[in-house]
Structure 1
Amino acid sequence: MITIAQCCAPPARALTPPPIDSSRLPAAALPAPPQPTEQREMCTVPRQTRATSPAANPLHTLDMTSVWRLTRGEGQRVAVIDTGVNRHPRLAHLEAGGDYVAAGDGAQDCDGHGTIVAGIIAAAPDSTDQVGFAGLAPAATVLSIRQSSTKFGPTANPSVTGFGDVDTMAMAVRTAADRGATVINISSVACAAGPLDDRALGAALAYAVDVLDVVVVAAAGNVGGASQCPKQTETTGLSWDTATVAVSPAWYDDYVLTVGALGTDGSPSSFSLAGPWVDVAAPGEDMVSLDPAGSGIVDGLTVFDRDIPISGTSYAAPVVSGLVALVRARFPELTARQVMQRIEATAHRPAAGWNPVVGNGTIDPLAAVSSDSISSGTPVTEARPIDLPQAPATARRASRAALLGAGVCAAVAAAALALSAARSRRAARLDITRE
């Protein structure tokens, strides 16, 4: 997960996202880097899986065999806005959606992150796979848009390694919606101990949801180390009035389904960032997915000469994106917000009700696709009225209804990647550790 951290004093007022301003919506344009870039680091090395049984796959508890009797995500296009997605034998339905990092088409992934995310969403089963890994919606199409990378940097600034910022994120959301995505997965966050100005992203999210009826799923963010978001000042009783850390796009709660992470025992992950905008939780630790550099599967990556597991809210989000694809295929009459509400309402609710770490609880894929009536639960708040542009004539659905780089801490860990449209003080990180 790309994390943009900003260091500043907590605000005296409650944290709320800026009002939607449709004039900030990026113009429709072919994806391209906003400035020349060059590759600066070797591509990430995946670690071949050491898992030897289905019990080692955190997704095995979701009973996907029963779910696939009802739906496999047919007809759905899931946009993965990430570090690109490499072609893989088990991603037969992969479309290149564009590249904001280099002169590619979106089907290149030097970081490995986007390919792992895409595998969790839509990898096909393989009878030779002893772990029994498959994505939640194996019949869905993945639309890959490369929006960021830790391996590239702006040509004009050789001291900066890393590329992709909140402006390209907003553009990528618009591109995904215009390309016919029914689901958008964003395993990236901007976080700040104070307010964020991410109006372009807010406008793009509103356009995707209210004009083209796309469901947007986002990671909640990680805490626990220098490379992650700061913690909320308090968790117990956390609300919009007491939150001290803003997280985008998650805080656009009317438009985004935000996902926290769970450990292999089903308990909340210690790194999962709490927030009043968290909606549901899904497995996000010790994950298995597709090998970004081969034809098999992996359960870890080698970063800075050490092996690390595939853990983070980055990997919980695509679990929910896969579920959204299943629900949309099963119940095509549901609007984007009705799909969001259904997933929240069918989740296993915490004993004390909604909480800011897991939201409405652990997702239940079988419950979400098993009935044609939406179970009772906490309704999704209706969006505020906004003045949105009309959908373009090329849109496939006529009327289906943030990351602005602020200054960040100069004292960042070596793993930070500086964003393309800023100086080295603006940093971002991939969510590939438990920290």
Structure 2
Amino acid sequence: MNRRIFLARTGVSIGTLTLGSTAASAATEGDEARRFVVDRRGLGSEADLEVVHEMDPVDLLVVRATEERLEDAGAPFAPDVRLPAEPHAPVDREPAGDEVGTGDGFRYQWDKQDQRIPEAHEVTRGEGTRVAIIDSGIAAGHPDLEGQVNLALSRSFAEDGYGVGAPYGGTHGTHVAGIVAASDETDGGVIGSAPGAELVDLRVFGANLESRGGDVPPGYWADTYMGTVMAALVYAAEIGCDAANLSLGWTWRMRQEGWGRFWGKVHQRVGNYARGQGTLHTHASGNWGESLQFNRDETDSSQTAGGITTSATGPVGFDPETEEYDEPPYSPSTYTTHGVGAIDLAAPGGKGGESQYDDVYNAIALPQFDEDGEYLGAEYGYAFYAGTSMAAPQVAGAAALVKSAHSEYNANQVRIALTRTAERPDEYENKYYGSGYLDTCAAVTG
């Protein structure tokens, strides 16, 4: 198979993006001043409302309207929250050798080696399961993802006029998708945890065409909204996804009063619906190294009811030739957010340190646009990335394997299988681990 190889040799962003902890309200900014999330149960007539997203199973709407119109209707509502994309500065890396990307990619996948994925595949490869990737888009034409994406069920929520099955919003979603379900049947490529699973591309991030020539590389996504993300998760549950991965890398602390109280109820309603439908949703905890310690005054957007919030770990000094390292893959990454009561599991996300070999190696696809914004295609390849964005899909892939091995399990039982078989390392603080460090093979075979 003819492969066009692209390698990130000069730098890799930690987690690719962080959607900042300071979320901008869409009710206070220019033309976006009329975007709201509304509880449909208290809404009478929907006249004069421009519906952006309908979430019928949970009686929620994302609309454009005047605040006065909604106040007159008497329905509970809150401004939708814009989630701005804020890229990290690249970190220095040792240059990769010429052989990287031209041979067996598995040799660089310390994450899959550590999780004993080939051994788990002796039981199941994830057949009969479906995983939603709520992200920037999946490059369905990448050699390692061909035939893995159900385009008929895939859907764009990005409101930018582009479709699905391509990295319109950047390469992030392709890397995440590869971690979950990259094919193990390609020549010289990488593997995912559950290559037998079916992927669904639910794109919530649009193309950031204004980034060309600016501070943000064109592979990065544009802003999205919390209401858009909630709509995508509801849809994932509607179409029977067994897992939905949200490697969004953002955290919004919400005080349990006013609009924050409303948003807490939205998260609970959406999360409970997804769980009831059998969809286990996995979340990246964020990449700014701070505590997400849960308290009774605030809730966190990554702590959606029934989900698994994931912190990141990674080795130090991994050598692809010997498969040895100076520090183990379960050692906490310095950038990962953490907190007792906030983190459910830790999983391989990459160290983000001096050597790129300590990061997560998987598929990428760099989108190309002309000056008029027409999509021209993508450059396919592989790269090392680090972040909680890379840790969460390890859990989503493991969930697909557990569900495939135990088709009778509901979402809670899959969650229990993952947390019960995880272990907390004695040499590191519990605040990084929740129930422990993910053990995919043990969850499948135990």
Same fold by TM-score greater than 0.5 = yes
Q: Assess, with a 3 A threshold, how the Cα gap between structure 1 residues 120 and 82 changes in structure 2: closer, same or farther.
A: same
Once the two structures are superposed, residues 340-364 of structure 1 have per-residue CA deviations (whole angstroms, 9 ceiling, x without a partner) of 1110110122338982212122111
Whether 1:288 aligns to 2:361 is: yes
User: Which residue among 408, 414, 417 is the counterpart of 1:342?
Assistant: 417
Alignment-derived partner of residue 98 in structure 1:
155
Alignment-derived partner of residue 93 in structure 2:
none
Alignment-derived partner of residue 272 in structure 1:
336
Whether 1:146 aligns to 2:203 is: yes
Within a 5 Å distance, the mapping from 1:218-297 to structure 2 comes to 218-224=283-289, 231-232=290-291, 239-241=293-295, 247-249=300-302, 251-252=303-304, 254-264=305-315, 265-266=328-329, 267-275=331-339, 276-285=341-350, 286-293=359-366, 297=381
Q: Is the 8 A contact 1:354 1:361 kept in 2?
A: no
Alignment-derived partner of residue 314 in structure 1:
389
Alpha-carbon distance between aligned partners in 2 of 1:281 and 1:89, rounded to the nearest angstrom = 29
Alignment-derived partner of residue 128 in structure 1:
187
Q: Assess, with a 3 A threshold, how the Cα gap between structure 1 residues 172 and 93 changes in structure 2: closer, same or farther.
A: same
User: Which residue among 431, 434, 439 is the counterpart of 1:356?
Assistant: 431
Q: Assess, with a 3 A threshold, how the Cα gap between structure 1 residues 352 and 7 changes in structure 2: closer, same or farther.
A: same
Query: Is there any run of 5+ residues in structure 1 with no aligned partner, and where?
Result: 9-20, 36-46, 154-160, 225-230, 233-237, 301-309, 372-435
Alpha-carbon distance between aligned partners in 1 of 2:294 and 2:300, rounded to the nearest angstrom = 12
How much is the aligned-residue C-alpha RMSD, in angstroms?
3.3
Alpha-carbon distance between aligned partners in 2 of 1:353 and 1:223, rounded to the nearest angstrom = 19
What SS is found at the alignment partner of 2:196?
coil
Q: Assess, with a 3 A threshold, how the Cα gap between structure 1 residues 240 and 73 changes in structure 2: closer, same or farther.
A: same
Q: Is the 8 A contact 1:187 1:317 kept in 2?
A: yes
Alpha-carbon distance between aligned partners in 2 of 1:327 and 1:295, rounded to the nearest angstrom = 33
Alpha-carbon distance between aligned partners in 1 of 2:236 and 2:386, rounded to the nearest angstrom = 26
Alpha-carbon distance between aligned partners in 1 of 2:335 and 2:55, rounded to the nearest angstrom = 36
Normalised to the residue count of structure 1, the TM-score between the two structures is: 0.64
Once the two structures are superposed, residues 30-81 of structure 1 have per-residue CA deviations (whole angstroms, 9 ceiling, x without a partner) of xxx989xxxxxxxxxxx99836664422222222111101010001110000
Alignment-derived partner of residue 109 in structure 1:
167
Per-residue deviation, 1:216: 0.8
Name the aligned partner's letter for residue 289 of structure 1.
Answer: N
Alignment-derived partner of residue 57 in structure 1:
109
Q: Is the 8 A contact 2:253 2:301 kept in 1?
A: no
Which of these two proteins has the greater Rg computed from alpha carbons?
Answer: 2
Q: Assess, with a 3 A threshold, how the Cα gap between structure 1 residues 68 and 23 changes in structure 2: closer, same or farther.
A: farther
Q: Assess, with a 3 A threshold, how the Cα gap between structure 1 residues 74 and 356 changes in structure 2: closer, same or farther.
A: same
Alpha-carbon distance between aligned partners in 2 of 1:207 and 1:184, rounded to the nearest angstrom = 13
Per-residue deviation, 1:127: 5.5
Alpha-carbon distance between aligned partners in 2 of 1:318 and 1:141, rounded to the nearest angstrom = 14
Query: Is there any run of 5+ residues in structure 2 with no aligned partner, and where?
Result: 1-16, 25-38, 43-52, 65-95, 211-220, 316-327, 351-358, 367-377
Q: Is the 8 A contact 1:50 1:299 kept in 2?
A: no
- Name which of structure 1's ranges 214-223 and 186-195 shifts more when overlaid on structure 2: 186-195
Per-residue deviation, 1:107: 1.5
Q: Assess, with a 3 A threshold, how the Cα gap between structure 1 residues 65 and 114 changes in structure 2: closer, same or farther.
A: same
Alpha-carbon distance between aligned partners in 1 of 2:224 and 2:280, rounded to the nearest angstrom = 23
Q: Is the 8 A contact 2:241 2:278 kept in 1?
A: no
User: Which residue among 17, 22, 25 is the counterpart of 1:6?
Assistant: 22
| Greater RCO, CA 8 A, separation 6+ | 1
Normalised to the residue count of structure 2, the TM-score between the two structures is: 0.63
Aligned pair count reads: 313
Once the two structures are superposed, residues 187-213 of structure 1 have per-residue CA deviations (whole angstroms, 9 ceiling, x without a partner) of 114424553733434322221112x12
User: Which residue among 402, 406, 418 is the counterpart of 1:331?
Assistant: 406
Per-residue deviation, 1:246: 5.0
Whether 1:68 aligns to 2:121 is: yes
Whether 1:170 aligns to 2:230 is: yes
